[in-house]
Amino acid sequence: MKSEPLVLGIETSCDETGVGIVRGHTLLADAVASSVDQHARFGGVVPEVASRAHLEAMVPTIQRACETAGVQLSDVDAIAVTHGPGLAGALLVGVASAKALALSLGKPLYGVNHLAAHVAVDQLEHGPLPEPCLALLVSGGHSSLLRVTDVTGHEGGVDPLGATIDDAAGEAFDKVARLLGLPFPGGPHIDRAAREGNQVAIDFPRGLTSRRDLERHRFDFSFSGLKTAVARWVEARQRSGEPVPVADVAASFQEAVCDVLVRKALDAAAAEGIEDLMIGGGVAANSRLRALAEERAGKLGIRVRVPRPGLCTDNGAMVAALGSTMVARGRTPSPLDLPADSSLPVTDVLAG
């Protein structure tokens, strides 16, 4: 047990300053400082506000993680950091801090991909990841279907089958929440409002599910048409002077999103002959997505793994978890001139 590597992971790709510490697959600390409240009145994350907050939160969050884990920085065997994709200025704060740690401690540095880290985090909750597995990653910044045969990305180990062609799923939640007068970020508020509503009250469109779309975009997503359909429906209601049934709109919208996500994920799993579906990213915290995935996957004999909500949203533990796998599999550490790459492709899991 003692031989398992102690890894500290740093995540600053969006508005959460995350520092996690793991030993092997065991989570020791997951300290997160969020600047979400500072962005709420802007209805979305403001990059400069996020970057400033990361600088202020960085060292205190490292400190808090070490205290929670009961470890000294000098005990750490390796440093891992998200170096993309994400907001360039925000990523840079974490990358620079990770380099300073690696340099000062004389320990290896692993620059890793944020998306693969969302997959790797599940190991902290459910043990070693079955490989291959199919990963559905859904958040405010990404919506992807990945075929994962090696989460460290070795030899094409992370293969994108599909992605959103316009808005991310979480973005659609934020925009619809705003239409309904619900606060930012929209996900949890829509989820809550939807519990009181009827999910079949309004038949909102399921993007890229028509036969023609499926030919070219079988595993891709589109949420922009859905968002516009909700806006039209709400506006028509307001114009006619009738009250907007917020709970029904929320439930019907959420159902449309979850239906498409689950349908495409299971179709991909079946097509690839994969029996394990992993769902990650902030939208994986949505209660209906979890329920629908389990209900439908069960009928197909596909197992579903979803980390607990706190591990689905952006955090440092997920980066540490992927870093720990890098160490365990003997991957080559990244150089000190590692860049932050805001548009890092999902296939590039480790910076070389």
Lay out the sheet containing 143-148: strands in order across: 158-163, 143-148, 133-138, 276-280, 303-305
Burial class (CB in 10 A: 0-12, 13-18, 19+), 55: middle
The verdict on 58 binding another protein (CB under 8 A) reads: yes
With CB under 5 to 8 Å by kind, the binding choice for 188 among another protein, Zn ion, none is none
Nearer to another protein, 212 or 239 (CB): 239
The verdict on 352 binding another protein (CB under 8 A) reads: no
Helix 246-272 and helix 169-179: axis angle, to 10°? 170
The verdict on 64 binding another protein (CB under 8 A) reads: no
For another protein, which residue of 33, 36, 105, 165 counts as binding (CB under 8 A)?
Answer: 105
Q: Site map for another protein, 176-215, x if CB under 8 A?
A: --xx------------------------------------
Task: Give the separation between CA 244 and CA 247, rounded to whole angstroms.
Answer: 9
Task: Give the separation between CA 153 and CA 111, rounded to whole angstroms.
Answer: 12
With CB under 5 to 8 Å by kind, the binding choice for 302 among Zn ion, another protein, none is none
CB 11 to Zn ion: min, Å: 8
Q: Which of residues 76-95 bind another protein (CB under 8 A)?
A: 88-89, 92-93, 95
Which range in 119-127, 132-140, 213-221, 324-332 contacts Zn ion by CB under 5 A?
Answer: 132-140
- In DSSP terms, 109 is beta-bridged to 79
Instruction: Give the β-pairing of 78-84 and 109-113.
Output: parallel
What token pair was written down for 132?
A: 């291959």
The verdict on 314 binding Zn ion (CB under 5 A) reads: yes
- Taking alpha carbons only, the member of 44, 285, 289 closest to residue 175 is 44
For Zn ion, which residue of 17, 113, 123, 139 counts as binding (CB under 5 A)?
Answer: 139
Burial class (CB in 10 A: 0-12, 13-18, 19+), 342: middle
With CB under 5 to 8 Å by kind, the binding choice for 40 among Zn ion, another protein, none is none
Task: Give the separation between CA 7 and CA 30, rounded to whole angstroms.
Answer: 12
With CB under 5 to 8 Å by kind, the binding choice for 139 among another protein, Zn ion, none is Zn ion
Contacts with another protein, residue ranges (CB under 8 A) = 41-44, 46, 48-49, 51-52, 54-55, 58-59, 62-63, 73, 88-89, 92-93, 95-97, 99-106, 178-179, 228, 231-232, 235-236, 239, 335-340
